[in-house]
């Protein structure tokens, strides 16, 4: 282990994270999950996302990857491919949710407002029915995040829903890894009222920003010491998991997913991200439409939530359907997220549709369910569109994804079927019923049930 | 259901309108709505139709061009018209957008049994969320105290307009809100601590109310001297002649026992639904079962007991006591012939208010027919609430409450383009 730690130190981030083995076995590379056989879907309406809609389209997958996509005329179906007639059906990339809380809340506890060293990975329940419901909504990739009750609540994890037949046995089977086997994820931060509280939590916005700056400055100093040690272990500072993670963020190796609602809080995030150089995705961004120009100028993408009505707390009182339209038209990249349990993953497409209702460009809205989200997770080269070479993650729909009447018929992950509405067990997750929900009430940050006083 | 307006009565009305003072005239300016499709609910769906609203009421419904339009009528055009939507169970107006203490009056937790709390004393007609749901076509709401205490208070029916509760009010004190759930169990002094205790407390109070109403009835039967009549003999009044001290709690529950007010019981788990049925049968009162996540597991029992279901929002969260909820429950209730309506419900966090239009849309995508889905947020709730003479369908003589859309109202990308309440256009922004 010491060797591994030194090796990762040499590349300058999160020493010791790349465990070569797991449960006594070598870590399975992501490609091991893939379906090796050749399959082709024909006569479908394709929504490739990175190119215009294709009628009478053909999609060919092999080895868990997309190997061809286009019109009947363009694509020659390879010999030996199992051909599926998808006439009347629509095929779109697997949906990417940039902000989900499926699998059990975890990561930071109430001891401190800043806990970047804590991982959501260590609290995920891979058997949670929520993952199966997400597949029923056509989702294939999730960024599972800790809550927003902290300034920095911990490390997020990017999951691929590899639920082929039976549930995976351990959470490691649904992780997305880089080529070195390191699981990928971001860092969750928050500002505004959710992350305020009694000491040691901040009581004001000024204090919130100060506490965050203080930590990033410490991390900078920590990193300077590490660099100064020049590889000499005797000169290294004692390891600090919290500061290591913040160093990763400042080096652009871990994207900051920042909860923020009110216009001034959004501007604060921009200010801090510029001071410390962390790559940031703005999340929720309820007041985004009020500061769309500023967000565009800062070149920060927005992962937005769409709720059926505004409010629930002061800072979300102007959360409106038009947010996506205004941000997009200002030149901001827009993705949607479920924030599941806040909204239901099964109805994720509805978020994009309601944005279109308020005037958002249709193609941009569909991009916001797929490729935009993939890019916000730093996974745009692997997922998010029906593109040759990308993972064969897609959803087969009964019709237009923006129609209420459209159903997700099948969801495929890395070339394997992970959801099929015609199978009773999968239908249960799609429709609801006994065992499709959760017997526990979800922990939703920062509000108490009405009988306990309501929102904080 | 279509009404052939007689020319003579029409002209008379028109003439009257012309001679009335202008302020009155503007308030009741006739409104005519033309649409490609009018879903009347109680009658046939009319293609290329018109609706004439005069003096707050629907005066005529028929084919476009079938009736003469008053010269001063305001003309609205749309694709699809539905009757103004009715939310069968919400807390909007008591529960506000900010979710702070100062706009959250839906639940009083000082005591588990407070049927005496009136919704009219807690409703804010200027609450932003009331306007918010109105803009999607919701014109009538049954709103009031929230689930969360064993008896949390009363409900009422209002139109989603008005600057005061009085100007919005249709029916005061329509139901008493009871909750059978963990939510209303408390430990320590704020009893009940268990489900058994919940039922014992409810039964005790209802029995007390029965005895109270018997006493009141007995008292009323005894002839009392009129207050103005002098007591000629100068005798001391006997105790029996003294007026009985009023007990607001029991007074209200007496009205539940007599059927004047409904008993609305929030219950999600099958076991709580069974308890609710048991209670209603013991006291011979009709039951409005609220939320009812497990209703799809209790179809025979609900049917046998003649229960009416105020069904949870389709998009409620499938967790805790609602863990078993299903998008298909509405269609299963419909199939079984159990009276039900889809509610916006109470949401303690977000979305702070739910729009019944959206909730019915999801049911329509999961087995409920278009017509049945429309009915579940118009005529069915109107019938349940007992206001079907005034709202719930587009028919002559009913309140002119209309919701106008630019396409299939349930489609996510369709807009509500106009809303009429009591013959007045209250929204014409595309939402």
- Per-residue pLDDT of B310-368, as tens digits, reads 999 999 999 999 999 999 999 999 999 999 999 999 999 999 999 999 999 999 999 99
A192 pLDDT band, cuts 50/70/90, is very high
Residues B328 and B270 in one domain: yes
Q: Chain B window 337-356: which residues touch A at a Cβ cutoff of 8 Å?
A: 346-355
Asked if residue B266 and residue B408 are part of one domain, the reply reads no
The answer on pLDDT for B58 being more than 60 is: yes
Going by pLDDT thresholds of 50, 70 and 90, the confidence category of residue A6 is very low
Cis peptide before B89 (omega within 30 of 0): no
Q: What is the pLDDT of residue A13?
A: 38
The answer to whether residue A40 sits within a structural domain is no
* Chain B: residue whose CA lies nearest to A449: B348
Chain B residue at shortest CA distance from A322 = B431
- Tell if the CB–CB gap between B107 and A451 is shorter than 8 Å: yes
- Does A102 have pLDDT greater than 60? yes
B136 vs A: CB within 8 A: no
CATH number at residue B29: 2.30.40.10
Domain count, chain A: 1
Is the CB of B148 inside 8 Å of chain A's CB atoms? yes
Total domain count for chain B?
2
- B264/B174 same-domain check: yes
User: Does B99 lie in the same domain as B65?
Assistant: no
pLDDT at B222: 79
Shortest Cα distance, chain A CAs vs residue B320, angstroms: 4
For chain B, positions 167-196, list CB contacts with chain A under 8 A. Answer: 183-184
| pLDDT at res. B229 | 54
**Per DSSP, what are the bridge partners of residue B290?**
B266, B310
Domain with A119 in it: what CATH number? Answer: 3.20.20.140
**CA neighbours within 13 Å on the CB side: how many for A277?**
9
In a shared domain, residues B63 and B42: yes
Give the B window 85-104 contacts with A, CB below 8 Å: 95-101, 104
The pLDDT tens digits for B81-91 are 999 999 999 99
Strand A256-260, strand A280-284: pairing: parallel
Judge if B75 and B93 occupy the same domain.
Answer: no
**Could you tell me which chain A residue has the CA closest to the CA of B350?**
A312
Q: What confidence category does residue B17 fall into, taking pLDDT thresholds of 50, 70 and 90?
A: very low
Our CA-based measurement puts residue A262 at a distance from the nearest CA of chain B, in whole angstroms, of 14
Question: CB A311 to CB B297 under 8 A?
Answer: no
Mind telling me how many Å the CA of B275 is from chain A's nearest CA?
Answer: 20
Overall average pLDDT of the B131-146 stretch? 98
Is A263 domain-assigned? Answer: yes
Average pLDDT estimate for B133-146: 98
pLDDT at B12 over 60: no
Residue B100 lies in a domain: yes
B364 interfacial to chain A (CB closer than 8 Å):
yes
Q: Which residue has the higher pLDDT, A448 or A55?
A: A55
Is residue B199 a part of any domain in this protein?
A: yes
What is the reported pLDDT for A27?
73
pLDDT of residue B238: 61
Which among B96, B362, B413 is the nearest to A402, CB-wise? B413
Residues B193 and B118 in one domain: yes
- Closest approach of chain A CAs to the CA of B349, in angstroms? 5
pLDDT in the model for residue B221? 87
Q: How far is B95 from chain A (nearest CA, A)?
A: 10
- Same-domain status, B74 and B61: yes
Of A308, A314, A438, the CB nearest to B358: A308
Please report the pLDDT score of residue B182 as a whole number. 86
Is the same domain home to B308 and B406? no
Pick A308's closest partner by Cβ from B100, B322, B355: B355
Shortest alpha-carbon distance between residue A265 and chain B (Å): 18
Quick one: what percent of chain A has pLDDT higher than 70? 92
Does the beta carbon of B122 lie under 8 angstroms from any beta carbon of chain A? no
Q: Which pLDDT value is given to residue B37?
A: 98
Query: Does a structural domain hold residue A404?
Result: no
C-alpha distances in Å from residue A252, one per residue of A176, A280, A303: 18, 9, 18
Residues in A touching B124 (Cβ below 8 Å): none
Position B26 pLDDT exceeds 80: no
pLDDT computed for residue A452 by the predictor: 54
Q: Which residue of A has its CA nearest to B108?
A: A451
Output the average pLDDT for chain A: 92
pLDDT in tens, A43-70: 999 999 999 999 999 999 999 999 999 9
The minimal CB distance from A441 to the residues B319, B410, B415 is found for B319
For residue A170, pLDDT beyond 70: yes
Question: For residue B148, what pLDDT is reported?
Answer: 93
How many angstroms from the chain centroid is the CA of residue A262?
A: 22
pLDDT tens, residue by residue, B164-206: 999 999 999 999 999 999 888 886 767 899 999 999 999 999 9
Parallel, antiparallel or unpaired: strands B287-291 and B308-311: parallel
Evaluate whether residue B63 is within a structural domain: yes
Report chain B residues whose CB lies below 8 A from the CB of A313.
98-99
> What's the pLDDT band for B20 if we cut at 50, 70, 90?
very low
Region A217-228 average pLDDT:
98
Higher-confidence residue: A10 or B220? B220
CB distance from B415 to chain A under 8 Å?
yes
Cβ–Cβ of A431/B358 closer than 8 Å?
no
Predicted local confidence at residue A350, as pLDDT: 98
Q: What is the full DSSP assignment across A225-241?
A: HHHHHTT-GGGSPPP-H
What pLDDT score was predicted for residue B224?
59
Q: How far apart are CA B91 and CA B184, in angstroms?
A: 17
Q: Which residues contact A106 (CB under 8 A, 6 or more apart)?
A: A120, A122, A123, A124, A146, A154
Q: Which two tokens stand for residue A294?
A: 């500023």
Claim to verify: residue B300 and residue B335 sit in the same structural domain: yes
Percent share of chain A, pLDDT over 90 = 85
pLDDT at A151 over 90: yes
d(CA A205, CA A208): 5
Chain A neighbors of B95, CB-CB under 8 A: 450
What average pLDDT does this structure show over A182-186? 96
Q: Do B350 and A316 touch (CB under 8 A)?
A: yes
pLDDT at B223: 60
The answer on pLDDT for A5 being more than 90 is no
CB contact (8 A) between residue B318 and residue A440: no
What percent of chain B is predicted at pLDDT more than 70? Answer: 89
Q: Which of A191-195, A227-231, B241-245, B292-296 shows the lowest mean pLDDT across its residues?
A: B241-245
Residue B228 placed within a domain:
no
Mean pLDDT value of segment B27-34: 89
> In this complex, do B319 and A455 lie within 8 Å of one another by their Cβ atoms?
no
Q: Name the minimum distance, in Å, from the CA of A441 to any CA of chain B.
A: 4
Q: Are residues B317 and B258 in the same domain?
A: yes
* Angstroms from B334 CA to nearest CA on chain A: 17
- The pLDDT value recorded for residue B10 is 40
Q: Determine the pLDDT at residue A167.
A: 72
**Do the beta carbons of residue B352 and residue B146 sit within 8 Å?**
no
Q: Token pair of A161, please?
A: 């829903």
Nearest-10 Cα torsion for B150, B328, B385, B281: -50
**Is A76 part of a structural domain of the chain?**
no
Size of interface A-B (CB pairs under 8 A): 154
- Candidate from B148, B350, B351 with C-beta closest to A451: B148
CA B143 – CA B154 distance, rounded (Å) = 9
Write down the pLDDT at residue A30: 77
Does a structural domain hold residue B294?
yes
Q: Is residue A443 part of a domain?
A: no
Give the tens place of pLDDT for each residue, A345-365.
999 999 999 999 999 999 999
H or E segment and range at residue B356 = helix B356-364
Where residue B382 sits, what CATH number does that domain have?
3.20.20.140
- The pLDDT of residue A24: 72
Whether residue B116 is found in the same domain as residue B161: yes
In which band, very low, low, confident or very high, does the pLDDT at B403 lie, cut at 50, 70 and 90?
A: very high
pLDDT at B6: 38
- List all residues 6 or more positions away from B234 whose beta carbon is below 8 Å from its beta carbon: none
At A204, is the pLDDT very low, low, confident or very high (cuts 50, 70, 90)?
very high
- Taking residue A110's Cβ as centre, other Cβ atoms within 10 Å add up to 11
Q: What is the pLDDT of residue A104?
A: 78
What domain range is B174 assigned to? 85-204+246-389
Considering only CA atoms, which of B428, B419, B373 is closest in space to residue B84?
A: B419
Digit-coded pLDDT (tens) for B227-255: 555 555 555 556 666 788 999 999 999 99
pLDDT at A32: 73
Is B355 in contact with A309 (Cβ distance < 8 A)? yes
Nearest CA in chain A to B146: A450
Which two tokens mark B86? 């009715």
Going across the sheet that includes A139-144, the strands are A95-100, A139-144, A157-160
Query: Among A309, A403, A450, whose Cβ lies nearest the Cβ of B353?
Result: A309
Within a domain: B235: no
Interface test with B, best of A344, A451, A452, A456 (most B CBs within 10 A): A451
Cβ atoms of B176 and B263 closer than 8 Å: yes
CA neighbours closer than 13 Å in the CB half-sphere of residue A206: 0
């Amino acid at each position: 282990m010491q060797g591994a730690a030194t090796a990762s130190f040499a590349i300058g981030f999160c020493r010791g994270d790349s465990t070569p083995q797991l449960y006594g076995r070598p870590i399975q590379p992501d490609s091991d999950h893939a379906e090796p056989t050749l399959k082709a879907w024909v006569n479908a309406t394709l929504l490739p996302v990175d190119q215009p809609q294709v009628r009478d389209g053909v999609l060919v997958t092999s080895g868990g990857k997309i190997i061809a996509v286009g019109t009947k005329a363009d694509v020659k179906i390879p010999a030996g491919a199992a051909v599926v007639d998808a006439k009347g059906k629509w095929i779109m990339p697997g949906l990417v949710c940039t902000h989900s809380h499926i699998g059990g809340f975890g990561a930071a506890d109430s001891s401190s407002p800043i806990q970047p060293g804590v991982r959501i990975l260590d609290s995920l329940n891979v058997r949670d029915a929520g993952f199966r419901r997400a597949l029923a909504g056509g989702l294939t990739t999730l960024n599972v995040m800790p809550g927003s009750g902290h300034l920095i609540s911990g490390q997020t994890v990017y999951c691929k829903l590899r639920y082929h037949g039976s549930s995976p046995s351990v959470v490691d089977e649904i992780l997305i890894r880089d080529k070195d086997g390191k699981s990928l994820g971001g860092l969750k931060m928050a500002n505004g009222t959710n992350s305020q509280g009694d000491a040691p939590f901040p009581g004001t916005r000024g204090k919130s920003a100060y506490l965050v700056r203080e930590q990033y400055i410490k991390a900078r100093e920590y990193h300077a010491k590490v660099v100064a040690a020049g590889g000499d272990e005797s000169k290294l500072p004692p390891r600090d998991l919290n500061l290591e993670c913040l160093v990763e963020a400042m080096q652009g190796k871990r994207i900051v997913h920042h909860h923020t609602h009110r216009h001034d809080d959004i501007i604060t995030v921009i200010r801090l991200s510029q001071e410390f150089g962390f790559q940031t995705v703005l999340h929720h961004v309820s007041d985004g439409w009020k500061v769309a120009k500023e967000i565009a100028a800062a070149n920060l993408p927005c992962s937005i939530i769409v709720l059926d009505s505004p409010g629930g707390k002061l800072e979300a009182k102007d959360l409106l359907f038009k947010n996506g339209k205004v941000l997009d038209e200002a030149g901001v990249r827009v993705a949607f997220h479920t924030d599941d349990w806040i909204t239901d993953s099964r109805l994720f497409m509805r978020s994009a549709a309601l944005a279109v209702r308020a005037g958002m460009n249709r193609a941009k809205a569909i991009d916001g369910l797929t490729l935009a989200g993939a890019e916000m997770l730093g996974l745009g080269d692997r997922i998010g569109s029906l593109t040759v070479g990308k993972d064969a993650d897609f959803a087969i729909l009964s019709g237009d994804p923006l129609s209420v009447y459209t159903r997700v018929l099948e969801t495929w992950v890395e070339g394997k079927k992970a959801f099929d509405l015609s199978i009773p067990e999968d239908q249960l997750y799609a429709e609801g019923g006994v065992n499709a929900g959760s017997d526990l009430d979800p922990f939703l940050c920062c509000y108490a049930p009405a009988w306990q006083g309501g929102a904080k | 259901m279509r009404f052939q307006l007689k020319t003579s009565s029409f002209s008379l009305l028109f003439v009257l309108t012309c001679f009335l003072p202008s302020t009155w005239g503007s308030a009741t300016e006739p409104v005519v709505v033309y649409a490609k499709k009018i879903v009347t609910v109680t009658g046939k769906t009319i293609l290329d139709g018109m609706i004439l609203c005069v003096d707050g009421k629907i005066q005529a419904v028929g084919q476009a061009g079938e009736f003469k339009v008053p010269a001063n009528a305001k003309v609205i055009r749309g694709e699809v018209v539905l009757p103004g939507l009715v939310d069968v169970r919400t807390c909007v107006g008591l529960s506000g957008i900010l979710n702070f203490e100062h706009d959250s009056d839906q639940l009083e937790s000082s005591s588990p049994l407070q049927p005496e709390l009136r919704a009219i004393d807690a409703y804010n007609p200027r609450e932003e969320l009331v306007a918010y749901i109105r803009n999607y076509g919701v014109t009538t709401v049954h709103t009031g105290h929230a689930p969360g205490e064993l008896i949390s208070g009363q409900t009422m029916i209002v139109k989603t307009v008005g600057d005061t509760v009085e100007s919005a009010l249709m029916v005061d004190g329509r139901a008493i809100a009871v909750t059978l759930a963990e939510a209303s169990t408390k430990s320590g002094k704020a009893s009940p601590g268990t489900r058994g205790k919940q039922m014992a407390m409810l039964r005790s109070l209802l029995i007390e109310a029965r005895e109270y109403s018997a006493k009141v009835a007995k008292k009323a039967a005894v002839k009392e001297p009129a207050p103005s009549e002098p007591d000629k003999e100068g005798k001391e009044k006997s105790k029996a002649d003294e007026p009985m001290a009023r007990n607001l709690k029991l007074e209200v529950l007496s009205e539940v026992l007599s059927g004047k007010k409904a008993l609305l019981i929030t219950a999600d788990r099958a076991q709580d639904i069974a308890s609710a049925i048991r209670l209603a049968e013991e006291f011979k009162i009709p039951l409005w079962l609220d939320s009812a996540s497990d209703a799809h597991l209790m179809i025979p029992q609900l049917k046998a007991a003649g229960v009416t279901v105020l069904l949870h929002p389709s998009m409620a969260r499938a967790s805790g006591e609602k863990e078993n909820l299903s998008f298909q429950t509405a269609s299963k209730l419909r199939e079984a012939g159990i009276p039900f309506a889809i509610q916006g419900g109470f949401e303690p966090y977000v979305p702070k208010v739910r729009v019944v239009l959206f909730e019915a849309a999801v049911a329509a995508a999961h087995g409920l027919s278009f017509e049945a889905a429309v009915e579940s947020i118009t005529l069915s709730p109107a019938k349940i609430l007992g206001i079907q003479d005034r709202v719930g369908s587009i028919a002559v003589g009913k309140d002119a409450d209309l919701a106008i859309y630019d396409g299939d109202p349930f489609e996510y990308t369709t807009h509500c383009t106009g809303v009429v309440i009591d013959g007045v256009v209250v929204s014409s922004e595309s939402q």
